[in-house]
Structure 1
Amino acid sequence: MSYLDQIKWTQEGLVPVIAQDAASGRILMFAWMNREALEKTVALGEAVYWSRSRNKLWHKGESSGHVQKVREIRLDCDGDVLLLEIEQVGGIACHTGRESCFYSRLEGGEWVPVDPVLKNPEEIYGA
């Protein structure tokens, strides 16, 4: 049986994916993959996701240059979530120019951005 067949895909043919910095252990982002995205990730050694909003494959860093080099791929005990241990090129995983997409913390009933913007998104993606 193929490694792809051992994953419990959603009805839409997707699996949730957590990207974690291999060195620090920090969770950088959450995304989705379909079978093709996972196959390309394995073949390239760089993260390729499925963009639900754009309805297409998304090679992380294709426009920003902030690719994710995959060091290890793990499957959870239920077979329905993937964990990518990655090296984040450029140290920025979030389209907001921050290290992690999880940059807001709940404080007093409000979401407060607590991580700095490392690079202005306009410098990354253009105006």
Structure 2
Amino acid sequence: MTQTDPNGDLTAQVTWNSDGLVPAIAQDYKSGQVLMMAWMNRESLALTASEGIAVYWSRSRGKLWRKGESSGHTQLVREMRLDCDGDTVLLLVQQQGGIACHTGRSSCFYRVLEDGEWRVKQPVIKNPESIYK
């Protein structure tokens, strides 16, 4: 799924921040819609590449987070890309259940700036209280 350096370490070409993390953007592989942004550490990046399911690093919980582990809305990884500076990962994913956001929407980017105000432009697909029990 991913290209590794000559020594077999796919994390070697990544430019990690001072916390050992890299931002990861999840994008729908068919529509191109940007679904969410999260953080990855070396372990989560390697697990994502080997398992084919998005695994992130939760800064608030201080642990690995398999997307959809509590909601069932996993992300099947179709392709992984690294930007030109090596400091951002792009995951092209198939979003299970059509919901990527903890608010019950298809994308975390559901607010649009219009006339100086952030306006909600995406409906809630499923009430978060029924997703996270």
Deviation at 1:25, TM superposition (A): 0.3
Uncovered stretches (5+) of structure 2, i.e. residues with no partner: none
- 1:110 and 1:55 mapped to 2: Cα distance? 33
For residue 19 of structure 2, the aligned residue among 4, 12, 15 is 12
- 2:121 and 2:55 mapped to 1: Cα distance? 28
Q: Which residue of 1 aligns with 2:113?
A: 106
Q: Which residue of 1 aligns with 2:63?
A: 56
TM-score (norm 1): 0.97
- 1:47 aligned partner, one-letter code: A
Q: Which residue of 2 aligns with 1:79?
A: 86
% same residue: 64
Deviation at 1:3, TM superposition (A): 1.9
Deviation at 1:109, TM superposition (A): 1.6
- 2:45 and 2:20 mapped to 1: Cα distance? 12
Count of aligned pairs between the two proteins = 126
Determine whether 1:22 maps to 2:42: no
Q: Which residue of 2 aligns with 1:96?
A: 103
- 2:40 aligned partner, one-letter code: M
Question: Deviating runs (4+, > 6 A) in structure 1?
Answer: none
- 1:119 aligned partner, one-letter code: K
- 2:44 aligned partner, one-letter code: A
- 1:86 and 1:43 mapped to 2: Cα distance? 15
TM-score (norm 2): 0.92
For the residue of structure 2 that corresponds to 1:93, the secondary structure is coil
- 2:77 and 2:114 mapped to 1: Cα distance? 33
Greater helix percent: which structure? 1
Deviation at 1:108, TM superposition (A): 1.8
- 2:18 and 2:121 mapped to 1: Cα distance? 36
Contact 2:57 2:64 in 1 (8 A): yes
